[in-house]
Structure 1
């Protein structure tokens, strides 16, 4: 049985891919590297926000109020 991709694997790949794309666009096109990296970083931020707020790592908002035993 092989590894199965999870949603957060795709979120991490999307963040990494957008930043790499920004570097590549900045290096190999007429767009300034800083402009390209900032623009593609905005895409990375949108992917990250979707992973945190739209499809967050909790089942219900009430899960956020539970105490963490490992920290007590």
Structure 2
């Protein structure tokens, strides 16, 4: 049985891809590297925000109120 891509694998790839794109744009265009990294970092933050708040790692909102026994 092989590994299948999950949503959070794509989130991690999106974060890496946006930062890598910022580096490439900074090196291959007249746009300053720091400027392109800042702009593409906002894109990475948007991908992270979607992974955390829009499509969070819980099945339903009631899961957030359950106590965690492993920490006690």
TM-score range relative to shorter protein: over 0.9
TM-superposed deviation, 1:29 = 0.8
Structure 1 unaligned spans of 5+: none
Q: TM-score, normalised by structure 1?
A: 0.95
Find the counterpart in structure 2 of residue 9 from structure 1: 9
> Are 2:51 and 1:51 aligned?
yes
The root-mean-square deviation of aligned C-alpha atoms, in Å, is 0.7
Q: Give distance in 1, aligned partners of 2:20 and 2:64.
A: 33
Which residue number corresponds to residue 69 of structure 2?
Answer: 69
CA distance in 1, matches of 2:69, 2:19: 36
Does the residue aligned with 2:31 lie in a helix, a strand or coil?
Answer: coil
Question: What's the CA shift for 1:69?
Answer: 1.1
Moved over 6 A (4+): none
Aligned residues: 72
Q: CA deviation at 1:4?
A: 0.3
